[in-house]
Amino acid sequence: MVGLSSTHHAAKCPFCSRRSSSVHSTYERTVADLPVHGLEVVLKVEVSRYRCLNPKCSHKTFTAQCDGLTERYQRRTLEQRRHLECTLGPVSANVGSRQCAVVGMPISPSTALRIVRGISHDIDYASIRHLCIDDFAARKGREYRTLIIDADTHCPLEIVPSREKDDVKKALRKYKKATLVSRDRSATYAKAIQEAIPKARQVADKFHLVKNCGEHIEKQMKRSMPEIKTEALESARIPVEEGVRLEGQYRAPTERDVELFHQVWELRKEGLSILNIAKKLNVGRRVVRRHLSSTEPHGMMVLPSRPVLRYMDIIKAGVAEGKGYKDIREDIIASGGYVAYKALRLGMKKVFPEYKPKGGSGLKLSPLAEANRERDALYHLLTSSKMRLYVMNQYFGVNKKTGECSDEHCRAEMLIQKSKTLQKLREAYLSFRQVINGKSVKDLDNWIEENSVSKHQEIAVFAKSLTPDIKAIHNTVRYSISNGPIEGCNNKVKAVKRSMYGRAKDDLLLIKIILYARNNLHGI
């Protein structure tokens, strides 16, 4: 505990600003300060109460404050309060209470929450020129909010309780001096900005434009996948002799199968549906369909055997000769069949548990097996979800440091070079990215005009969808503002929201986000 006294002999009235030196009385204030070496520090400050000499002032007396140390109605110094605000902002009230107790500033969780709620975040709306607006999920798939930030300082300004046009418009009316507003391609936000700030220029975000283009490219790939496979594999097709496929056979019918067959057909002749027949005979609809699809009674179908059982003659011959797994697999592939090495080894261990191959069990593929493997790799690559990575990014699969290309990258580039459809899709995507990142509005208009009549339906749909929002997209090319800062801020919002366990309201969430931004701005 430290004792202090004020050396001032006069003070200004906080209500009328008139200076007074007439002392009414003195009293002692107890103020908590920053701890020293983990020990709590309490200041006993002797302060004076003065008489206000202004007869028009509504207050007869007032208390003088120690500049830089105390403020009205507070039992903490300004320095301790600032430290608590920075400490309690990013964490929950319970965690903040425990952390402060460790360093020598014991407070309760309720006090911690009250300190955070008391943080002022006044906004000078007249000084804000550039805005970013985007939505985030308060409850994913159910409730959404709208976040507005200052594009210059990246500081959050406001959380709108929904993303409806009326709520967003009401919030944006405060920013009358804003000249640029960056947004995604939402028509709701576009209308709200136009009605609330008609003089502001809207800028469509580059990231969302490129993302929309990529989504349409992937849809077109799904539509054109049969054509792409024909083009890409025409010269890369590998002739492989297919294995013999065992067709299913019906087993001999039992007495129950014959009786059920006649019952099903009798009820069918009476006009009953498959569902009613199944209910009356207490069987499944598949059983009824099976009997109705045949002209004579039969039993259940015997499914084809497993790969190992399918080539049992070859396997038995190999076992008799003492061959290893790889040699037996070579014999199966040479006969026109195909079985995976692992499936063969595990299957043989079940059928011949005591068999130990003399030739070893190492895996070495023959030229025919290598051809099958290469074919499977190409077919695995020719899917819209896989191929889009290589179509939209020609450097995907390339080591940035060494420049070495992966095997999959080489296969993908080979398939793209063989397919005219994939080449057109890559050209459309890369040219759009180049136009958006450029500075020429004319090039953008030319791209839209050229691709609006594209034979690929999804590309034409995307190009035509740019026309209604063409002014905002032109501004994307002209100005460097984007939604990048607010996307990063949205990630911070989600992190803070999770730490609050969803129990706090939007006002406390906004304060915590503002504190987070301030701490990062000042390097705290």
Tokens of 259: 């009786």
**CA dihedral over 352, 357, 362, 363, signed as positive or negative:** negative
3-state secondary structure 24-76: EEEEEEEEEEEEECCEEEEEEEEEEEEECCCCCCCCCEEECCCCCCCCCCCCE
pLDDT of residue 367: 55
| pLDDT score at 430 | 93
What are the helix (H) ranges across 438-505? 441-451, 457-465, 470-478, 484-499
- Please tell me the CATH superfamily of domain 125-205+482-521, with its number: Ribonuclease H-like superfamily/Ribonuclease H (3.30.420.10)
pLDDT in tens, 73-102: 788 888 888 888 878 877 778 888 898 888
On whether the pTM is more than 0.75, the answer is: no
Inter-helix orientation angle 470-478/206-223, to 10°: 120
pLDDT tens-digit readout, 243-273: 333 344 566 788 888 899 999 999 988 989 9
Rounded to an integer, what distance in angstroms lies between the CA atom of residue 139 and that of residue 157?
Answer: 21
- DSSP states of 125-140: GGG--EEEEEEEEEET
**462 Cβ contact list (under 8 Å, min separation 6):** 212, 213, 216, 451
Measured between alpha carbons, how far is 168 from 72 in angstroms, rounded to an integer? 37
- Nearest-angstrom CA–CA distance, 451 and 210: 15
- Lowest mean pLDDT across 21-30, 224-233, 374-383: 374-383
| pLDDT (average), residues 297-317 | 70
Query: Topology of domain 250-302, per CATH?
Result: Arc Repressor Mutant, subunit A (1.10.10)
pLDDT at 277 over 90: yes
Q: Which of 63-67, 105-109, 318-322, 458-462 has the lowest mean pLDDT?
A: 63-67
- In sequence order, what DSSP letters do the residues of 81-103 get, joined into one string? HHHHHHHHSSS-HHHHHHHHHHH
> Which among 170, 130, 177 has a CA at the least distance from the CA of 149?
130
Do the two domains 125-205+482-521 and 250-302 of this chain adopt the same fold?
A: no
Q: Are 456 and 228 in contact (CB under 8 A)?
A: no
How far apart CA 435 and CA 402 sit, in angstroms, is 30
Q: What is the pLDDT at residue 203?
A: 93
Reduced to 3 states (helix: H, G, I; strand: E, B; else coil), residue 314 is helix
User: Would you kindly state where each structural domain of the chain is located, as residue ranges?
Assistant: 2-75, 81-117, 125-205+482-521, 250-302
Asked if residues 459 and 487 have their Cβ atoms less than 8 Å apart, the reply is: no
C-alpha–C-alpha distance, residues 264 and 289, integer Å: 9
